[in-house]
Structure 1
């Protein structure tokens, strides 16, 4: 069974066609980098997998079933994280908001929910952060808390939307290594959204690259090359490899160098 499968899927948002006739399959247990220039449709795709956006055409399968809102088999780390600015909330309290998310208002956690929250914190090595206010944590420490929250309920699929935002290179490496290790240990599929390939090179099994409403999937070498990306974008793309890094260029402009922009 595939973790995620798209069969000739078309997605639209705000009257704009974001993806057109896209097909791919992600096997269970795979670590896949979801890549593409800003506005390519990465977040839109994640929201379709979550059942938050209805497809215009085609079929989507998530763990063998159609997408549904609130699927407990999916762990999701969104790009927007305004809740982290709350001065008083601790790491444990924040993780518990997912454990008790079915109730209205701030959760009064049951013993089972507390146990689930501590288990998720243990999975990411963050039990020492549980009692500390989020406002006092570093960017990398906050990301650990967010990843722990996405592990509540023992999901079979992790969707991480730009978890590397605002992190320096060292913290990026630690978060990628953490997610890779957790995915392998738990045997779950990971779809890791990023606007840059270079931080992910050591970890990904394959990449899913979006551009111009289309998608290409395969190994880094199979997908991130001039001919494939030129066909994807419908214009000449030059892929340059320097000192173990990859640069995707169009008319001497690096496509992955722009500011982070949310699809929706």
Structure 2
């Protein structure tokens, strides 16, 4: 897919700007020639095969991995210098946090850092933690130890911990991995509210796009050693996705209007599916607010 060069960007209308960025590990180039901008207020996925450098890209944006060429600007500053305004949820959150602390104590770590237990927690900090937990839909589990929570509940505690410092940018590494369907939907619902109600820019490392499709505005895709950025109507291209994942992929829609990115040819023989070419997908986006829309079951009564 051909993409035109990015227009000159201003820090205030782009949350993240890559300029000919390259990352190497030893003598091996992880990816190179990264030049793109991610708009402020967007919800973006980082997609690619295992080993393509998805988590590496997020670590570059956090200033944790140095570039071997080029530059990355995040929230108007060089990567790593604006981390106080970034909320980060690592994939390994649940294994790195002491499972004996309560949900509230975990969220407070987002304000106090590793000083927890040494300095007293103020009423203002507790109020802030409670608001973050309410937003993440986990306030009723404030007194529960992390070991008592399900994987989905722990994921929402992790999001609340990242939210408690009022970040402008929220970054999540595989937030839906190892969660059941209901927990995935609950997590996506929190992200949708964050973006819609608070205007938070969100970036998600994702292996599977399906559950995120209702909220995504674009994607960074790592293909052939180069990172690219495109809006979702360009990313939902069967040929591109087939190349990206190394297996035959179709972009399909159901009679209910759901869009799915689906492997083929293992579809049920009796399934009624309408396979769209990229032009049809682009037209769908144009008529539906420029983003994929999937009707959740709990919304059907409100349509």
TM-score, normalized by the shorter chain, greater than 0.5: yes
Q: Is the 8 A contact 2:110 2:164 kept in 1?
A: yes
5 Å-filtered alignment, 1:174-193, equals: 174-193=186-205
Separation in 2 of the partners of 1:131 and 1:202?
A: 33
Cα deviations across residues 183-235 of structure 1 (Å, max 9, x unaligned)? 221111000111011111111111221123212322333123244457768xx
Q: Is the 8 A contact 2:48 2:244 kept in 1?
A: no
Of 77, 82, 87, 1:75 maps to 87
TM-score, reference length from structure 2? 0.74
Of 193, 200, 215, 2:212 maps to 200
Partner of 2:119: 108
- Alpha-carbon deviation of 1:118? 2.0
Q: Is the 8 A contact 1:124 1:148 kept in 2?
A: yes
5 Å-filtered alignment, 1:8-157, equals: 8-68=20-80, 71-81=83-93, 82-84=95-97, 86-101=98-113, 103=115, 106-111=117-122, 112-157=124-169
Separation in 2 of the partners of 1:94 and 1:205?
A: 31
Distance 1:25 1:109, change over 3 A: farther
Separation in 2 of the partners of 1:181 and 1:204?
A: 13
2:228 is paired with a residue of what secondary structure?
strand
Partner of 2:260: 245
Partner of 2:295: none
What is the aligned residue count?
A: 247
Distance 1:115 1:124, change over 3 A: same
Higher relative contact order (CA 8 A, sep 6+): 1
Separation in 2 of the partners of 1:238 and 1:78?
A: 30
- Alpha-carbon deviation of 1:12? 1.9
Specify every segment of 5 or more residues in structure 2 that has no aligned partner in the other structure, as ranges: 1-11, 267-303
Separation in 2 of the partners of 1:227 and 1:240?
A: 8
Q: Is the 8 A contact 2:38 2:229 kept in 1?
A: no
Distance 1:93 1:102, change over 3 A: closer
Specify every segment of 5 or more residues in structure 1 that has no aligned partner in the other structure, as ranges: 253-264
1:40 is paired with a residue of what secondary structure?
coil
- Alpha-carbon deviation of 1:133? 0.8
Structure number with greater Rg is 2
Cα RMSD after superposing both structures: 2.4
Q: Is the 8 A contact 2:21 2:70 kept in 1?
A: yes
Separation in 1 of the partners of 2:113 and 2:82?
A: 10
